[in-house]
Structure 1
Amino acid sequence: MESVPTIRVHIEKFMREKNLKLQHFSDITGINVGTLSAILKGSRPMSMNQLNQITSVMGLEKGYFYESYGVESFIESSPHWRRLEPYLYECAELCKLDCIQQVITHVTDDRSYIEELFDVAESFFARGLKEAALILYECVADSEKYQHSERLALCQYRIFLLQKTLSKYDNLNAAVKFESYIDKLNEEVQLDAIKDLANVYNTIHLWDKVDAWARELERKAEFQLKIQSRRRKSNKRRLTAYPLFTYVAYANLLISSVYDARKEYENVLKYIEKYLEIVEVENPTQEDQQIIDLFLIWGEGNQYASQLMLGQENVINSYLDYIENNPSEILAGLINILQASNQYSFNIDYALDRFKDQINLFNTDMYIKGSYNDQMLNHVYQDFYYELANYQMKQRNYSLGMDALLMCLDLSSSSKDDLMCIKCLDLYGEYRSEAAETQIRKYKKLIEKLSLPTF
């Protein structure tokens, strides 16, 4: 097996080719000549800063030697945290994930640096270095899988957050795996974890799960509020992402969404009133007020939507004014209006015309996401384009309807949402005779991607 040249061999070769003496190389790298001599003799380890200085002088891109450095410093030699920590940060910043994986797999064998690695993972997570953080969390979790510790539970929570994809089945698997760890988290952290878990179930329409976790969230949040009321003078740092009343209100919002899915609109209105009462906070802070304003906006919009789904066509204009004044609610509002129009045969051409410019921005980087993350947004787009397709077909605007339907099929196939794909196929089958040649070709391409039979 051919041996791989060490970093020291590369440096010595560079010095020979450039005819550089040790003192001159010391001057241009800014590394003390004695230190440099010891590094080249192999009697002194090289720091990350020194490696970067030498790499730059050699005219190589930063990180060129990181793989070799990882092997020489942490696999072939005993690892030292003083060198390992900066190495992980440098690799993360340059997205050299293979280097991190290689070194961490070796380092976690003896569990020497589990606590330190967890702290670095948390730092990566806070900085948005998600892929690097995921590697560390998975290694720490694997090392602690029999410990049943809070740290293991927190690792699993972070892994759950980082592994969410556009695929409903990936998210379902991640959610089911994470559920058993929630009770091991800090009681305050549990509130955010349950909220995030319920949001995933909400996205994939598992309404019984949403209902169960929403009620658990309400119970736990109310308990924490009681504890907080007894500690009004406590300076204890808050561990939740939001003030505690937020979670009680949000739990009721989730419950209202369950009743909405079940078409029990009177109950929806009941729970809307409930969370609007919860956010009536005395002497709110600036943070409290921002959250209160958000719930007031949601509450008003959800009231219009529920009234509309009860067949009250007279609220449409007020609803349109509302979403125009709250641009982040336009997408959800139009979906609700389309659903009601499809159910009650309302003509809403004027509403679609009023928001045509905003609709043209949907599914582009210029659209205002509001409170949606990418995964949620994908599913909401699917709902919009499906309802739009259904409406336009009923209005005999077949070309517009078919375009919307194909957009929905494209989005649902990308996220592997089989239920929506089937709904699209059924609707296409009903109106396939109205499809233009270009639309037929596009449909066949999408079907090939799905590996399903054409109609």
Structure 2
Amino acid sequence: MEPATTIRSTIEDYIRKQGYTLQYFADISGVNAGTLSAIIKGTRPIAMAQLDLITQGMNLEEGYFYETYGAECFVESAPHWRRLEPFLQRCAELDKLDCIQRVIQQVTDDRSYISELFEMAEGMLERGQQKAARMLYECVAECEKYQHSERLALCQYRIFTLSLGQNQHDNLRAAVHFEPYINRLDEERQLDAIKDLANTYASLRYWDKLFSLADELGHKAEIIQSFTKKKVNKESRVTAYPLFVYQAYSNLLKANACECRGEYTEALKYTEKYNNLVNIPNPNDEDMIYINMFNRWTEVNTYLYNLMMGKKEVLPIYVAWIEQNEKETLTALVKIIEAANKYDMNIDDVLFKFDKSINSILSDRTLSEGYNEQLKNDLYSKLLFELAMYYFNREQYSEGMQKLVNCLSSAIRINNSNDIIQCVALFERYRYFASQEIESIYHNLMEEVYSYYEIKKNHGYTLV
């Protein structure tokens, strides 16, 4: 049965009420009069391009008819890919995600469109239409959930990367869900998948899991590299980076895991390993980008691990390096303040030197999604917590309390339970020094935490 109001009846009513002739409306809309007549009579289907022209001619907003068009063309009648493809693409361009969801739920009964939907999702991802792409990947994954296929695994990989955001519990859930699909991917694509998964666990501070994935990454990269006799150029390879990068990055991740577990001697050992791995013969221009990157990391991390072992004499060299490498300021400051708290160092001069940088970092809350931003969010919270500790240790309680409630707010925003617990414990230790204003802010933040966990309890949510 047709809906009570069809697109063609709406067009016909509009022309009549405006007092237009068919030819006049054809002229203002840009649709041929004969074509327009056939559309109104129902003897010719409406193409997407014609629908957009008609909508514009009627002075309606773009996509005004899309919901009705989806129902008429793809739900109530057998869909044809020749018409479905431009419809989904236009919906993605106009961010009409409800229309996409409604239509793909219907058309996937016909499994013949699964390959086309997957390829379309890939195209949307390349064009930055991430939400629409994710819908199509989820649709394809659902249709192929009982298949042991590489396409299913690739869909799950795409869904995983598109799921990463600021909520750490959601990120953990996405990581746990995706991990079983890694081995179904093409061997080379597995390298990027493991790398992305390892970065996610790094932001979650799962150091043992990070080390395990880093070890797997290095092992797989070594095997693939042993079978690859010649360099593959950037345009034709499957991996995002040259193969030697994955072996080197594996050791960098291991060094990071060791550092965070307080194993600084081991961290230095893995730093030396990745420094040696990037010394490849006959590097090209792209190779040199990564070689220089790892060389910088070798230098700075050597300073860092020595500082974390209590070698205070490296601090001026480390600070000088940061001044020449501003992009590393956030990471470096976190570590310097952490070392200061651990070894009771006075770093007031360092904080003064980087005062503008610190204020800039703490005021930058326009963070996007993805694992790099996960790491940035994590570092942001750690910076605030370490600053709070530093000020408390130096009896600057007002400054410490302000940083602490800011840290708590950040931890709540990204749903980091460990940081929330640490902040609460530290606040209770120094509560006596909290002003009435800070007490009020703290109370409101704790109400927010309470409300969130009440919602979780009432809806039966679990962590993963």
TM-score under structure 1 normalisation? 0.95
Structure 1 residues 169-208: aligned runs within 5 Å: 169-208=169-208
2:143 and 2:216 map into 1 onto residues whose CA distance is 30
1:88 aligns with 2:88: yes
Which whole-Å deviations, capped at 9, do the CAs of 1:302-332 have from their partners, x for residues lacking one?
Answer: 1111000110111111111111111111011
Q: In the aligned structure 1, how far is the partner of 2:128 from the partner of 2:38?
A: 38
Look up the match of 2:459. none
Q: Deviations 1:127-150 (Å, cap 9, x if unpaired)?
A: 111110110000000000111100
Q: Deviations over 1:275-298 (max 9, x none)?
A: 111111222222211112221222
Distance 1:66 1:101 in 2: 12
For the 8 Å contact 1:328–1:368, the answer to whether it is kept is no
Q: Tell me, in whole angstroms, the C-alpha distance in 2 between the residues paired with 1:291 and 1:233.
A: 16
2:297 is aligned to 298
Q: Quick one: structure 1 residues 386 and 142, their matched pair in 2 at CA, closer, same or farther if it must change by over 3 Å?
A: same
CA deviations 1:151-202 (Å, max 9, x no partner) are 0000000011111122222112211111111111011100000000111111
2:367–2:373 CA contact under 8 A, matched in 1 = no
Instruction: Give the deviation of 1:107 after TM superposition.
Output: 0.5
Question: Which residue in 2 is equivalent to 1:54?
Answer: 54
Partner of 2:411: 412
1:108 is displaced (CA, Å) by 0.5
Secondary structure of the corresponding residue to residue 109 of structure 1? coil
Report the secondary structure of 2:282's partner residue: coil
Q: Give the superposed CA RMSD.
A: 2.0
Contact (CA 8 Å) 2:144, 2:152: kept in 1 or not?
A: yes
CA distance in 2, matches of 1:100, 1:8: 22
Q: Deviations over 1:18-76 (max 9, x none)?
A: 11111222222222222111111111111111001000010011111111111111111
SS at match of 1:112: helix
1:247 maps to 246
Matched, 1:30 2:16: no
Distance change (3 Å), C-alpha of 1:158 and 1:233: closer
In the TM superposition, residue 388 of structure 1 has moved relative to its aligned partner by 0.6
Which residue in the other structure is 2:263 paired with? 264
Cross-structure match for 1:385: 384
> 1:122 Cα shift?
0.6
Q: Distance in 1 between matches of 2:289 and 2:406?
A: 35
- SS state at 2:430 partner: helix
Offset, 1:225: 1.1
Q: Is the 8 A contact 1:214 1:251 kept in 2?
A: yes
Change (3 A) 1:206 1:368: closer
1:134 corresponds in structure 2 to 134
Structure 2 counterpart of 1:373, one-letter code:
N
- 2:52–2:62: 8 Å Cα contact kept in structure 1? yes
Structure 2 CA distance, aligned partners of 1:6 and 1:21? 20
Following the alignment from structure 1 to structure 2, what is the Cα–Cα distance between the partners of residues 129 and 163?
A: 14
SS at match of 2:164: coil
SS of residue in 1 equivalent to 2:20: coil
- Is the CA contact (8 Å cut-off) linking 2:201 and 2:209 kept in structure 1? yes
Give the aligned partner of residue 101 of structure 1.
Answer: 101
Which moved further from structure 2: 383-392 or 290-299? 290-299
TM-score normalised to the size of structure 2? 0.94
Q: 1:136 to 1:363 in 2, by over 3 A?
A: farther
Residue segments in structure 2 that go unaligned for 5+ positions in a row: 452-464
Counterparts of 1:97 and 1:190, CA distance in 2: 30
Q: State the Cα distance separating 1:373 from its structure 2 match.
A: 2.3
Q: Is the 8 A contact 1:252 1:271 kept in 2?
A: yes
Quick one: higher RCO (CA 8 Å, sep 6+), 1 or 2?
Answer: 2
Provide the aligned length of Structure 1 versus Structure 2.
Answer: 450
Which residue does the alignment assign to 1:152? 152
Residues of 2 paired with 1:368 and 1:56: CA distance? 36
Displaced runs of 4 or more, over 3 A: 1-4, 231-236, 363-369
**1:234 shift after superposition:** 9.2
Residue 279 in structure 1 maps to residue 278 in structure 2: yes
Indicate conservation of the 8 Å contact 2:221/2:247, yes or no.
yes
In structure 1, give the amino acid aligned to 2:392. Answer: M
- Write the mapping of 1:70-89 to structure 2, written as runs, cut at 5 A: 70-89=70-89
Matched with 2:69 is: 69
SS at structure 2 position matched to 1:292: helix
Letter in 2 for 1:224: I
The answer on whether the counterparts of 2:411 and 2:417 sit within 8 Å (CA) in structure 1 is yes
Distance of 1:170 and 1:217 partners within structure 2: 24
% same residue: 49
Q: Write the mapping of 1:321-400 to structure 2, written as runs, cut at 5 A.
A: 321-365=320-364, 373-400=372-399
